[in-house]
């Protein structure tokens, strides 16, 4: 256990109150000053972020930090160019092109894996996890998140992933301090980090859907079936009829069109179809534990188990602000792991995506028109916006 009184007393030796420096060489020549700066870097969590980046790079990801826009108006999607809000920094944005499915009647599905990660360093708090009371019925419908591919991948993607412990409750604790101490045995630390993550997800999901890959749009608009589609009158082009046509009527209109115009040779016009998958992730430093609380039949705690990673079913108090992320769901599954367990998270993702690709191939074989349905439901491709 750290003797905090001695540690704090030593820290007060530097910096001296009111001390300033005319240039960097003055403080750089001071050993206490350099130790002070290095200590602050460690507390910032930057070393954790760099270590996590290296792990992901070793698994083939292109990794960078990124900035995202966070609207200040709760419950309203505000433009980053015209609305009020803040630009924030995301610790890790990692993306990787997966191996394509292989040609299916000339069409190939190209999955892209995207990880939206925040790194959380704590000098004294460990994470206690309470397992979900009914994991078989837990809502994991938003794992992973799809930026596109909804009309191809009609089954729930989560079933293809070997999900870890699902958390009912998560709290952060200082084991050497009483529970009555402020924010001890509280979910505040994890809640705040998850709120940052969901806010970043909203930005990058919206951006992904708005800036869909150019080659995808180009090939779709050159296809024979798309040319036939362009010749048809579109009832929703009348602004007075737009709202009712967006839903069921538009769906029926597209399905009728595909039934009359889709041919077995149509897929050859779509050699490249992307599916972008997003995984929210929170990475903890290895100096702190991620520990499951074991309960007896009456839910009293009886033991602890070091687990290293879990899936947190996070519920935001601002659900009405995150429609693009939640899509009428109530919870957002967020992976939380220690740095040393990050390779297990990548393994979980890799194995799940391989199963997902097999399922995509089976679904397209059963309904090849789903590829074109995906395109005709994309407002960006067909020019509605």
Kindly report, residue by residue over 51-106, the tens digit of the pLDDT: 999 999 999 999 998 888 777 654 444 444 445 667 788 999 999 999 998 888 88
Please give the distance of CA 278 from its chain centroid, rounded to a whole number. 5
140-154, 170-184, 301-315, 370-384: which is most confident: 301-315
Mean pLDDT of 353-368: 91
Residue 8 has pLDDT above 50, yes or no: no
Residue 50: strand pairing partners: none
Residue 10 has pLDDT above 50, yes or no: no
Q: Count CB neighbours of 205 within 10 A.
A: 21
Mean pLDDT lowest for which of 35-39, 111-115, 181-185?
A: 181-185
Residue 179 has pLDDT above 50, yes or no: yes
The tally of CA atoms less than 13 A away on the side-chain side of residue 148 is 29
Q: How far apart are the first and last CA of the chain?
A: 60
- Average pLDDT in the chain: 84
Q: Where are the alpha helices (DSSP H) in the chain?
A: 4-11, 24-28, 31-44, 46-58, 188-210, 214-222, 224-231, 242-244, 250-261, 323-326, 342-366, 370-376, 379-382
Q: Measured between alpha carbons, how far is 291 from 341 in angstroms, rounded to an integer?
A: 13
Residue 4 has pLDDT above 50, yes or no: no
Q: What pTM was estimated for this model as a whole?
A: 0.86
Q: Measured between alpha carbons, how far is 338 from 94 in angstroms, rounded to an integer?
A: 17
Higher pLDDT, 281 or 231: 281
Q: Measured between alpha carbons, how far is 111 from 101 in angstroms, rounded to an integer?
A: 8
Q: Phi, psi at residue 95, to the nearest 5°? A: -140, 150
115-139 in b/e burial notation, b at 16+ Cβ within 10 A?
bbbbbbbbeebbbbbbbbeeeeebe
Q: Measured between alpha carbons, how far is 143 from 179 in angstroms, rounded to an integer?
A: 33
Mean pLDDT of 254-276: 89
Q: For position 75, what pLDDT does the model report?
A: 42
Q: For position 383, what pLDDT does the model report?
A: 55
Mean pLDDT of 21-32: 84
Please give the distance of CA 113 from its chain centroid, rounded to a whole number. 10
């Amino acid at each position: 256990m750290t003797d905090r009184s001695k540690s704090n007393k030593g820290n007060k030796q530097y910096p001296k109150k009111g001390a300033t420096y005319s240039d960097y060489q003055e403080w750089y020549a001071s050993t206490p000053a350099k130790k002070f700066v290095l200590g602050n870097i460690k507390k910032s969590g930057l070393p954790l972020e760099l270590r996590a980046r290296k792990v992901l790079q070793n698994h083939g990801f292109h990794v960078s930090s990124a900035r995202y826009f966070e609207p200040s108006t709760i419950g309203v999607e505000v433009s980053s160019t015209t609305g009020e809000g803040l630009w924030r920094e995301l610790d890790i944005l990692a993306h990787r092109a997966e191996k394509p499915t292989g040609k299916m009647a000339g069409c190939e599905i190209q999955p892209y894996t995207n990880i939206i990660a925040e790194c959380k360093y704590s000098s004294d708090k460990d994470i206690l996890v309470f397992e979900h009371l009914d994991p078989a019925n837990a809502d994991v419908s938003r794992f992973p998140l799809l930026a596109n591919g909804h009309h191809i991948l009609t089954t729930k993607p989560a079933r293809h992933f070997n999900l870890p412990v699902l958390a009912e409750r998560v709290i952060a604790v200082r084991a050497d301090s009483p529970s009555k101490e402020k924010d001890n045995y509280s979910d505040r630390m994890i809640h705040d980090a998850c709120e940052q993550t969901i806010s970043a997800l909203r930005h990058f999901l919206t951006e992904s859907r708005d800036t869909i890959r150019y080659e995808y749009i180009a090939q779709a608009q050159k296809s024979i079936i798309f040319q036939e589609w362009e010749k048809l009158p579109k009832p929703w082009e009348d602004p007075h009829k737009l709202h009712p046509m967006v839903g069921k009527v538009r769906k029926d209109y597209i399905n009728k069109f595909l039934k009359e115009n889709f041919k077995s040779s149509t897929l050859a016009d779509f050699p490249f179809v992307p599916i972008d998958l997003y995984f929210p992730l929170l990475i903890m430093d290895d100096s702190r534990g991620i520990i499951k609380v074991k309960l007896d039949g009456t839910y009293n705690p009886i033991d602890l188990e070091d687990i290293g990673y879990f899936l947190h079913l996070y519920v935001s108090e601002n659900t009405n602000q995150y429609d693009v992320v939640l899509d009428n769901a109530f919870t957002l599954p967020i992976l939380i792991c220690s740095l040393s367990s990050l390779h297990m998270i990548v393994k979980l993702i890799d194995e799940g995506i391989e199963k997902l690709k097999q399922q995509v191939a089976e679904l397209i074989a059963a309904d090849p028109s789903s590829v074109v349905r995906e395109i005709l439901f994309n407002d960006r491709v067909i020019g509605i916006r």
